[in-house]
């Protein structure tokens, strides 16, 4: 039997309760992941077959970490658990049962950018001019209604109240039609299609109800209507469902999450048992007191009282700043102060903000002061244009019906196939009810296309046919490298020889490395699985805790993370809370829950900053501090006027820095005075420790050959490699 001695009594009780409906109300930092891990392991230890357990999470990162921990407790049995995000688990079921919903199993998954492209193409095909709403606004509206289980027909019947709504309903209907024609699903379809499948085919529905004897749901407060419906549909007659959540951390209503699901669970499962996890292991007493003093202003909540055996800790520091530049300066100043005083690492520090736009001033100061940082929620690797271009090629090799991917690469690299030619081919495809890919083979039948361009289209089709034929004969790594070499894009970017082209070249090389690593680590790796993983990857999945950099991120992105030191920046009315006097009480309560999440990310110390003025919408706006600051218990916070000390010196900012922080070891931040040379020992945030064997080139083209641990040899452009030089 596995040992539960590391759990407290309430955690043990929650783990041991195997049967029937269970709700675990888990406060921030109360060991929720530990309880879920042990609960799954406990089920397996009590003869429940792992393949009969369904565990649903909200990020791949959470699922992988939990599976690794379960593996430590029960060994290889953990590999058979159905554990993953809602979207990945139901994508798996849909691929198995695809023929029952008129899809092929190799369907592709459209991310928000793909969906937006489809909406734009539909608007263009319809020759619509909609000044009142943007294509992205339409895409967002379609996503919103699908998250609430409202499809095109119902939207038109019940929600189309204006001329614009009528046009949106036309686009909505065509959008769904095109998805089916492209053998594609968007994120919302991955939840709606299983509901459709189970409703239309009772045999399949019963198959999965029987299979999943025990269902566990993490972050239950973040489930939307479709997700909760799926959970209820799969719970069998024994009612063995366990949901874990914290209503105080429900912060995703804008994407359909329904805090009411936690309240409805009590009505839907009247025999449910409730366990409250209230002991916090993460934060100090003062931090918990601060969080509790704010969240108590919310009327709609499940009452719980967090407590901790940790020490009292430091007061929160409230810093009053003159503007956003001063705010960034003060944050940089206190970062260096914390590192000097507590001997912390950069990775121990996070700066949270309400909107991504707030990072600009911070980045400017951090670059100037040579403080290494990483942004979570910036332009993600797999969203970069050149990366998406290559992935579009791979998607066509997998699914030739994917018109959006084909349109993306039709003239990349340039092959003389212009927009007019593409429009004529699309028109031909619609007229003859065939795919755009099939039209390429019949391009000589399309009128008004010059012979030279017809040959270009035919050559492109032959290129794709070549690699479609090779897809099942080569490994994913070999296939992608051969394709990229054939396309000549690396050579093209290399010859362009600009900083931007070199960065794009490095991104493509990194993508090829990713494909090779996936192929090497998965014995029977399928291209479709790689493409699915990429499509369903969230920004937090790529977060590397080992990288020694300050982390900049929105509060939404910070959920589930923790840091010794947390800065909550931009705490002003209309920024945090991001609302005004016209906002509903529900909106304000969600903003307050978001502030609660920000506070409870901190383990040791919190800094809160606000500015008297900042640039907003191109003009200087005078700000009033956030109401959440005034809701904090006065005894937990100490206020400083950050700009006073700065303005009292007629010196440059740089001079004031050195005066305040003479003890800081600036070598931790400034690598400019060190040079890479053969024999240098270096640290790379991904590849680890290494030794430089060769340095060639000069200026921006300086390149080093480095042998990393495990005899892993890499050639790196020093401008982009961000090596830390150890000697």
**Helix/strand/coil (H/E/C) assignment for every residue in 179-245:** HHHCCEEECCHHHHHHHHHHHHCHHHHHHHHHHCCEEEECCHHHCEHHHHHHHHHHCCCCCCEEEEE
Cβ contact 59:560 at 8 Å = yes
According to DSSP, residue 322 is labeled S
> Cα–Cα distances in Å, from 243 out to 49, 272, 276, 382, 561?
20, 10, 12, 32, 20
List the catalytic residue out of 249, 400, 551, 603.
Answer: 249
According to DSSP, residue 723 is labeled P
> Cα–Cα distances in Å, from 128 out to 117, 125, 135, 155?
15, 8, 11, 19
Cβ contact 464:486 at 8 Å = no
Cβ contact 475:525 at 8 Å = yes
List the catalytic residue out of 17, 33, 279, 705.
Answer: 33
Question: Is 601 one of the annotated active-site residues of the chain?
Answer: yes
The contacts of residue 126 (CB under 8 Å, 6+ apart) are 170, 171, 174
Q: Are strands 184-186 and 108-110 parallel, antiparallel or unpaired?
A: parallel
- 516-545 in b/e form (b: 16+ CB < 10 A) is bebbeeeeebebbebbbbbbbbbbbbebee
Residue 560: HSE in the Cβ half-sphere, 13 Å Cα cutoff = 22
- 547-579 in b/e form (b: 16+ CB < 10 A) is eebbbbbbbbbbbbbebbbbbbbbbbbbbbbeb
Among 419, 424, 430, residue whose Cα is nearest residue 443: 424
CA dihedral 450, 451, 457, 458 (to 10 degrees): 160
Packing angle between helix 202-211 and helix 225-234, nearest 10 degrees?
80
List the catalytic residue out of 114, 174, 188, 218.
Answer: 218
Burial class (CB in 10 A: 0-12, 13-18, 19+), 652: exposed
Whole-number Å distance between alpha carbons of 602 and 596: 11
Question: Is 218 one of the annotated active-site residues of the chain?
Answer: yes
> Counting every residue, how long is the chain?
727
The contacts of residue 304 (CB under 8 Å, 6+ apart) are 25, 27, 248, 276, 278
The contacts of residue 205 (CB under 8 Å, 6+ apart) are 197, 198, 199, 233
Question: Is 131 one of the annotated active-site residues of the chain?
Answer: no
Question: Is 445 one of the annotated active-site residues of the chain?
Answer: no
Tokens of 18: 């195997």
Measured over the CA atoms of residue 359, residue 361, residue 367 and residue 369, the dihedral's sign is negative
Determine the straight-line distance between the first and last CA of the chain, rounded to whole angstroms: 50
List the catalytic residue out of 504, 601, 605, 614.
Answer: 601
Whole-number Å distance between alpha carbons of 416 and 463: 15
Question: Is 32 one of the annotated active-site residues of the chain?
Answer: yes
Measured over the CA atoms of residue 53, residue 59, residue 63 and residue 69, the dihedral's sign is negative
Quickly count: other Cβ atoms within 10 Å of residue 83's Cβ.
Answer: 24
What is the SS3 assignment for 679?
Answer: coil
List the catalytic residue out of 186, 188, 189, 219.
Answer: 219
Backbone dihedral angles phi then psi of residue 256, each to the nearest 5 degrees = 100, -5
The catalytic residues are: 32-33, 218-219, 249, 601
């Amino acid at each position: 039997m596995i040992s539960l001695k590391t759990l407290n009594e309430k955690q043990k009780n929650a783990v041991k309760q195997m049967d029937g409906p269970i709700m675990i109300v888990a406060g921030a930092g109360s060991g929720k992941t530990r309880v879920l891990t042990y609960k799954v392991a406990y089920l397996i230890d009590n003869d429940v077959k792992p393949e009969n357990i369904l565990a649903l999470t909200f990020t791949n990162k959470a699922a992988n970490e939990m599976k690794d921990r379960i593996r430590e407790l029960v060994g290889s049995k953990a590999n058979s658990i159905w554990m993953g995000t809602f979207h990945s688990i139901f994508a798996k079921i849909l691929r198995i049962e695809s023929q029952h919903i008129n899809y092929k199993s190799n369907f592709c998954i459209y991310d928000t950018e793909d969906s937006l492209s489809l909406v734009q193409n539909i608007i263009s095909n319809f020759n619509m001019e909609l000044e009142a709403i943007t294509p992205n606004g339409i895409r967002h509206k379609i996503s919103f209604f699908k998250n609430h289980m409202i499809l095109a027909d119902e939207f038109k019947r019940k929600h189309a109240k204006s001329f614009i709504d009528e046009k949106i309903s036309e686009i909505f209907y065509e959008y769904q039609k095109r998805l089916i024609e492209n053998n594609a699903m968007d994120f919302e379809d991955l939840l709606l299609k299983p509901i459709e499948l189970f409703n239309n085919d009772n045999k399949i529905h019963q198959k999965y109800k029987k299979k999943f004897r025990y269902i566990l749901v993490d972050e239950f407060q973040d489930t939307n209507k479709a997700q909760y419906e799926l959970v209820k549909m799969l719970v069998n007659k024994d009612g063995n469902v366990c949901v874990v959540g914290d209503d105080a951390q429900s912060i995703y209503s804008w994407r359909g999450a329904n805090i009411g699901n936690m309240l409805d669970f009590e009505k839907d499962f009247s025999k449910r048992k409730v366990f409250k996890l209230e002991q916090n292991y993460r934060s100090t007493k003062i931090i918990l007191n601060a969080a509790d003093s704010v969240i108590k202003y919310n009327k709609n909540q499940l009452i719980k009282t967090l407590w901790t055996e940790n020490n009292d800790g430091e007061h929160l520091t409230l810093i009053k700043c003159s503007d956003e530049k001063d705010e960034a300066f003060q944050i940089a100043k206190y970062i260096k102060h914390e590192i000097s005083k507590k001997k912390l690492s950069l990775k121990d520090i996070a700066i949270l903000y309400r909107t991504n736009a707030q990072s600009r001033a911070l980045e400017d100061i951090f670059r100037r002061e040579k403080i290494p940082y990483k942004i979570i929620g910036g332009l993600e690797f797999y969203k970069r244009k050149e990366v998406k271009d290559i992935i579009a090629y791979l998607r066509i090799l997998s699914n030739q019906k994917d018109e959006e991917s084909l349109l993306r690469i039709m003239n990349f690299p340039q092959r003389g196939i212009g927009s007019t030619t593409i429009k004529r081919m699309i028109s031909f495809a619609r007229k003859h009810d065939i795919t755009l890919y099939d039209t390429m083979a019949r391009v000589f039948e399309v009128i008004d296309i010059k012979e030279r361009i017809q040959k270009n289209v035919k050559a492109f089709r032959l290129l794709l046919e070549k690699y479609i034929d090779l897809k099942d004969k080569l490994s994913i790594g070999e296939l992608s490298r051969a394709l990229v070499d054939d396309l000549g894009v690396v050579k093209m970017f290399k010859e362009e020889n600009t900083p931007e082209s070199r960065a794009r070249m490095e991104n493509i090389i990194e993508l090829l490395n990713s494909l090779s690593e996936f192929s090497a680590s998965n014995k029977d790796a399928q291209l479709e699985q790689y493409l699915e993983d990429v499509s369903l990857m969230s920004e937090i999945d790529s977060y590397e805790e080992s990288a020694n950099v300050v982390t900049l991120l929105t509060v939404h992105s910070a959920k589930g993370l923790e840091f010794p030191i947390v800065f909550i920046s931009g705490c002003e009315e209309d920024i945090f809370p991001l609302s005004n006097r016209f906002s509903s009480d529900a909106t304000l309560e969600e903003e307050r829950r978001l502030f609660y999440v920000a506070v409870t990310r901190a383990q040791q110390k919190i800094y809160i900053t606000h500015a008297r003025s900042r640039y907003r919408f191109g003009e200087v706006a005078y700000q009033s501090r956030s109401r959440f600051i005034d809701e904090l218990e006065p005894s937990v916070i100490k206020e400083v006027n950050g700009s006073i000390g700065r303005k009292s010196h007629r010196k440059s900012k740089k001079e004031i820095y050195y005066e305040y922080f003479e003890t800081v070891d600036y070598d931790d931040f400034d690598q400019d005075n060190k040079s890479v040379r053969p024999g240098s020992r270096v640290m790379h945030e991904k590849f680890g420790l290494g030794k430089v064997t060769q340095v060639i080139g000069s200026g921006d083209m300086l390149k080093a050959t480095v042998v990393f641990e495990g005899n892993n040899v890499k050639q790196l452009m020093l401008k982009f490699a961000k090596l830390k030089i150890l000697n």
